[in-house]
Amino acid sequence: MNPIKLYHFPLSGHAHRVQLMLSLLDLPVEISFVDLAKGAHKQADFLAINPFGQVPVIDDNGVVLADSNAILVYLAAKYGQGRWLPTDPVGAAHVQRWLSVAAGPLHAGPATARLITVFGASANAEEVIARSHSLLKIIDQALGNSPYLVGDTPTIADIAGYSYIAHAPEGNVSLQDYAHVRAWLVRIEALPGFVGMPRTAAGLQTEV
């Protein structure tokens, strides 16, 4: 098959979700670097692909999709061979719940905390870190009941959550108190085809 084109920025957790999913599915990929630091995502040629001016975007042989969670749903449904996205109503709803968490509380918490330290974003760090810990307590409790966010096997819910949780220390959000979360990260990293996101020496992440 022809490679799927991924419009990508290496330090974007949203883009990493899709890169990770493509790798776990062992799909051929052509990566197109979008230089967010130089504003490439706000230029007319990129806005023609995604009017929201955000990465990631994929072009799967003419099927152009933006939004990391939407792309995860597409990839799992088309290429997942029944894995990664449950088809039963309850399982599908549970995955959707965690995708909403990834788009909401995870973005407002660990992702934003990392934006402050890595990219100099303007936000109240104390409030963002507090929100992050409130979320991590809930996730840790959920992972105390099952090895993955939705049951005994990994789904796109885990892929949507992994990147910004794994890199939370870069935003001064410690994972020390969340043993179930840390064990879950190890399980994700042990999956065949796992590919990590580059770490940044920021916040509590002093080494890369």
At 170, the amino acid letter reads E
Three-state SS for 39?
coil
Whole-number average pLDDT of the chain:
95
pLDDT tens for each residue of 56-100: 999 999 999 999 999 999 999 999 998 999 999 999 999 999 999
Whole-number Å distance between alpha carbons of 7 and 5 = 7
CATH of domain 89-189: 1.20.1050.10
How high is the pLDDT of residue 37? 79
For residue 65, what are the β-bridge partners?
58
- What's the CATH architecture for 4-79? 3-Layer(aba) Sandwich (3.40)
> Which regions of the chain carry the CATH code 3.40.30.10?
4-79
Does residue 178 or residue 44 have the better pLDDT?
Answer: 178
pLDDT tens for each residue of 151-163: 999 999 999 999 9
Number of other residues whose CB lies within 10 A of the CB of residue 179: 12
Contact 46, 34 (CB under 8 A): yes
